[in-house]
Structure 1
Amino acid sequence: MKKRTTIFLQDKTFLSASLLVAAAALAAVTPPAHGAKPQHVQQDDDLADSEYAHGRILVEPREGVSEAGFDEAIRPHKGKRRKMGQSNIHMIDLPPGSEKAALAKLRKDPQFKYVELDRRVKLSATTNDPYLGSEWHIGKIGAPAAWDLAQGAGVTIAILDSGIYSAHPDLAPRLVAGWNVDGNNADTSDVCGHGTAVAGVAAAAMDNGAGVAGVAGNAKIMPVRIAFKDASGSCYAYYSTMASGVTYAADHGARVVNLSYDSAPASAAVQSAANYLKSKGGLLFVAAGNNNRDEGYAPTSSMIAVSATDSADARSSFSSYGSFVSLSAPGSYIYTTNMSGGYSAWNGTSFASPVAAGVAALMMSANPALDGAKIESLLYSTAVDLGTPGRDIYFGNGRVNAAAAVAAARNASATVSKDTSAPTVAIASPSASSSVTGTVSVGVNAADNVGVARVDLKVNNTVVASDSSAPYAFSWDSKGVANGMAALVAVAYDAAGNVASSTPVSVNVANSTTVVSADTQAPTVKITNPVSGRVSGNVNVKVSAADNSGAAGIALALYIDGQLKATGSGSSLSYAWKTGGLSAGQHTLQSIATDKAGNRSSSSVQVTK
């Protein structure tokens, strides 16, 4: 038998010499030139049948699209819609085999922000080896110094993955209730082992005298199962389960969400869910991928994409890269919890992502008053700059530095200056004095020195729709106003309460008119958001109405717990509801619609804070 040679490292970890040589050789792989053109973004039309879910697609209607308009658009495709939590993302169930045909048609419909196939996605991990690794990453990022200031208490990290082995002694004390969005049940047991390993990196219990310590070892862990195991034993998720998992976590109080699966930055639905999480003060961390290439994804501010580094602060040989990378973190030979109740080492950006997520949880624990935007900004400004000076495609803003980030977060309140700069906002389309009929697409450009919180579209001084994420796009039913000139104004708000209005754009409404007999039919009205369930943070309340005599004569009113909160006219009404000051428990929203003839109807929704 060949004798095994081991090397004794300063941290008392034993590694196989042959494996160390192999690791060194991998680390020496030279990445492609900085300017190399990425060729790896695969378009929906190019996906093979095995790469996406059959019988469904993902869409998001523009703000202002009515229930009737939505249903009319998907009716020719025999589609049925399902809403994801309190977000505006919808899954459309279709006859299997019709996905690409529906995709091509609906992408041409101006009522939708995006339409995409429900892509099948692999996890971002490479082969694990129980003889490799130690918690070298804890010292590398300065976690012990950070722990002197904060250990994650009071923060919940949602792990969107294959589930978690709940009996693991290093995880059981940290777990809170979660959900299985793949199976639509409460079974969050681990089907692959990947989720258990990721959870341990982020928040394995600390100071318990055994095992390993997560980066934020006193944070809570919310298991959200988004994955399934196929016949070959491989674990996969879909864009739909990823987006649904993010919205579930946001709706149930998680401020940090980790998603260690490939291709998340390429999905418009996942980006939308990430923006929804950000609107509630949370942050989504995603793995950059393990393909050792420029993935070609467009940069996005909706999520934090993390590439992997090794113990020498070099890019891990397997780590993907590109202009979409926001941050880097240790991802080679990360020792963590496993599904057998023990411990083993893993490689992958799957494990770099929860390292960064754990640091964010430490920062939030150190200073709970900081919003997600400030946490993100401090993560970047305190990172250790690697590679080309400044942000680059391999390390993003640098390798995460827990000690510096937590210290900066703790002291941030003394250095944060009040934001007094209002956003800039302008209506991009339609053009002034143009004639419009029926459903009108309205595009708005808005920007702010810190960030735009939401944009309202007003027609004749009545808010008809609100959008909380770029691109700010609306669908306005012009039949909700009388023929003639109508004034469109966009109003932008930032998180500090600064407000700016666009220059009014007047358009000529020229819808055909019909003679209507005596009207005895009441209008229909529905609160489309929120749906029954849990709410938190800022909630965009949406009311949709229709009438046999046309939308122009509908008067709308919104009541919350019996108090009038907003009024308007036409087919839709929006209201920005701040739930932060509400008491815990049930709250009732009621909408009332009255047509010109005095016919009235109402609908209500009960939610829980």
Structure 2
Amino acid sequence: MSKIALTNGFTTSRTRIAMALGATLLSMTGVARAADFSDGVHEYARGRILVEGRAGLAGDDLDKILKAHGGKRRKMGQSNLQIVDLPAGANETAIVEKLRRNPALRLVELDRKYKSTLAVNDPYIGSEWHIAKIGADIAWDTTQGAGVTIAILDSGVDGTHPDLAPNMVAGYNMASNNTDTSDVCGHGTAVAGAAAARSNNGTGVASVAGQAKIMPIRIASYDSATGSCQAYSSTIANGITWAADRGARIANVSYGPLAGNATIQSAANYMKSKGGLVFVSAGNNGLNESTTPTTSLIAVSATDQYDKKTSWSTHGAFVSLAAPGASIWTTSKGGSYGGWNGTSFASPVAAGVAALMMAANPSLDGAKIEQALFSSAVDLGAAGRDSSFGYGRVNAAAAVRAVRASVPVADTQKPASTITSPAASSSVSGLATVNVTATDNVGVTRVDLSANGTIVATDAASPFSFSWNSANSANGMVALVATAYDAAGNFMASAPVSVNVANGSVTPTPAPAKDITAPVSSIDNPVAGTVSGIVAISARATDDSGPAGLFTRLYIDNTMVGQGYGGVQSYSWNTALWSTGTHTIQFNAADAAGNWVPKQVTVTVVR
């Protein structure tokens, strides 16, 4: 193995960083290739699909839907996304088509395979040209990203690398379901270094956000047939939700192209609901992709030293932003350094700029960081947003100035919401889909659905829709109300829509002299584990005498946060207002005879 070592110094107004640059061959290890299948365009995982129920769909109701196909679900963190394992020999495509016709489900799709967006490795580049190009050295006089955690969803990270070790925090291996986050391909180590290798330490390279923390999440396995690391929609989405639940503000995924994947978009929306942002690489096929633009992901194309789009960078209307991605000198597996090309490296460069911005003004949420990131970018190509550069090439200096100058303006305008279906006076039974339109001058952060005054479900992602189990309400007229909230806490309820619940008459069985059967209750979300940001608590109860006589209460650490009649309680818990550490959520449901059994779950709040 040969190695080349060079040194090159440069000085900012306050910072001098010595860089030792080297290159080494990458040794690749990994696991055997899965027996996937192809539709002629993409490859998909055998034996599993991805599903998300509409807000309010209870776990056992989802289980009943999946049971018809032999499916068993695994929840992705505290989100509503589910990995569904299918029995051997199942036709994944046919099951997806059938489930897509079920109105209780918001999302159903195959588990697609993705490759890393590495182009070529050039070991002879000896200069970090991109640092000065984007003005990161100027931004460093204000911030270097301290206090912000960037989740690197990739092939793992070499946590022993001297330029990465000081910034590492605990991560997870989604590909193997364990805590081994070592790098099986080398790609993740290079991506992590581009975003947050330790700066001003007299060693190796300087990254964009050298004091930000790195959360390694392995989403990929080595594929010996292709000689590359490959990930799935399920491991990527699971990694995003895992990171969001543990306080990461930024996630970077240099695989793809991902912008058109509904499951990953949903996971990204989950992270955005907690004030975070998800950056993804545009891809390296050099083609103009017709992928529909999304507001959930920041897709980054690659530029060169001359602010030109690289020949191999994928482009299209879905591109949000551009960043340097050619000859990016960064960390390599095994403690060395090398020059790397690809949108794989443009994406973490942009993610590093966002980390600088968040550290410079921690009071801003993800939406405001994103807005300032786009508005401060250097407009290249056609005026305004275009298919090659999105809103432009990132400008760290201007972006940090923008957020530091940002003066909060009091938002006093209330959002508006309307229940568009079901229609007033219509009859419903079983699982009923409730659709809501909600608007705001800044943005709607969530919508609560109430039935006869009790919150039954919360949705934090547009388009807002719910799967309401009308069996949890007594037969007769029930008033549905949607309440929309914005980030400033303004809220307004919609006009009520009254519907007739008609679940059929139940012939009562002879009752014992005294009702001694307690209701059966459950907490669907959150599950035991770590939480952060806004947490949607959902709990429900059933009773042998029906829902009419049920009275429920919801507590957090013995503080009551909700109560009402019927079998369902929902609450949007802002953990930022509570201390870090362990908290207990308790749900009590009592029937008319006074029987009750508490249900509780313990979670740990992190920042």
TM-score by structure 2 length? 0.90
Which position in structure 2 is the counterpart of 1:432?
424
Q: Which residue of 2 aligns with 1:509?
A: 501
- Residue of structure 2 aligned with 1:579, choices 571, 575, 580: 575
| Residues 166-565 of structure 1: pairs in structure 2 closer than 5 A | 166-232=159-225, 233-412=227-406, 415-517=407-509, 518=511, 520-565=516-561
AA paired with 2:386?
D
CA contact (8 A) 1:66 1:571 kept: no
> Per the alignment, do residues 537 and 362 of structure 1 end up closer, same or farther by CA in structure 2, a change over 3 Å counting?
same
Distance 1:266 1:553, change over 3 A: farther
Name the SS of the counterpart of 2:394 in structure 1.
coil
Match of 1:86 in 2: 78
For residues 89 and 441 of structure 2, what CA distance do their matches in structure 1 show? 46
- Alpha-carbon distance change, 133 to 608 in structure 1, aligned in 2, over 3 angstroms: same
What SS class does the counterpart of residue 306 from structure 1 fall into? strand
Q: Aligned in 2, Cα 1:317/1:85: closer, same or farther, shift over 3 Å?
A: same
Q: Give 1:490 shift.
A: 0.7
Amino acid at match of 1:592: N
Give the stretch that moved more between structures: 274-283 or 377-386: 274-283
State the secondary structure of the residue aligned to 1:358: helix
TM-score for the superposition, normalised by structure 1: 0.90
Change (3 A) 1:592 1:127: same
8 Å CA contact 2:55–2:457 kept in 1: the answer is: yes
Judge conservation of contact 1:228–1:235 (CA < 8 Å) in 2: yes
Show the counterpart of 1:600: 596
User: Which shows bigger deviation, 519-528 or 218-227?
Assistant: 519-528
Contact 2:562–2:571 under 8 Å retained in 1: yes
Equivalent residue letter for 1:286 = V
What code does the residue aligned with 2:80 have?
N
* Superposed displacement of residue 503, structure 1: 1.8
| Alignment match, 2:26 | none
1:134 aligns with 2:127: yes
CA distance in 2, matches of 1:275, 1:409: 22
Report the AA paired with residue 433 of structure 1: S
Aligned length: 568
Larger mean CA deviation between 70-79 and 225-234 belongs to: 225-234
1 CA distance for matches of 2:549 and 2:108?
33
Q: Are 1:480 and 1:553, in contact at CA under 8 Å, matched by a contact in 2?
A: no
Give the Cα separation in 2 of the matches to 1:133 and 1:521: 75
Q: Which amino acid aligns with 1:94?
A: L
After superposition, the Cα gap between the structure-2 partners of 1:50 and 1:494, relative to the gap in structure 1 and judged at 3 Å, is: closer
Indicate yes or no: 2:95 matched with 1:102. Answer: yes
Match of 2:6 in 1: none
Matched, 1:53 2:49: no
| Separation (CA, whole Å) in 1 of partners of 2:41 and 2:135 | 46
SS at 1:235's partner residue?
A: strand
Offset at 1:474?
A: 0.4
Give ranges in structure 1 of 5+ residues lacking alignment: 1-9, 14-43
Contiguous gaps of at least 5 residues in structure 2: 1-9, 12-18, 20-35
**What is the aligned-residue RMSD (CA, Å)?**
2.0
Tell me the secondary structure at the aligned position of residue 522 of structure 1.
coil
Please identify which structure carries the higher helix content: 1
- Counterparts of 1:4-15 in structure 2 under 5 Å? none
Q: State the SS of the aligned residue for 1:165.
A: coil
> How far off its partner does 1:46 sit?
7.2
Structure 2 Cα separation of the partners of residues 507 and 177 of structure 1: 49
Shift of 1:129: 1.8
Task: Deviation per CA, 1:41-93: give whole Å up to 9, x if none.
Answer: xxx99735981111111111111112231111011111111111111111111
Partner of 1:5: none
Partner of 2:31: none
**Partner-residue secondary structure (3-state), 1:240:** helix
Distance 1:154 1:244, change over 3 A: same
**Equivalent pair of 1:287/1:353 in contact (CA under 8 Å):** yes
1:74 maps to which of 58, 66, 73 = 66
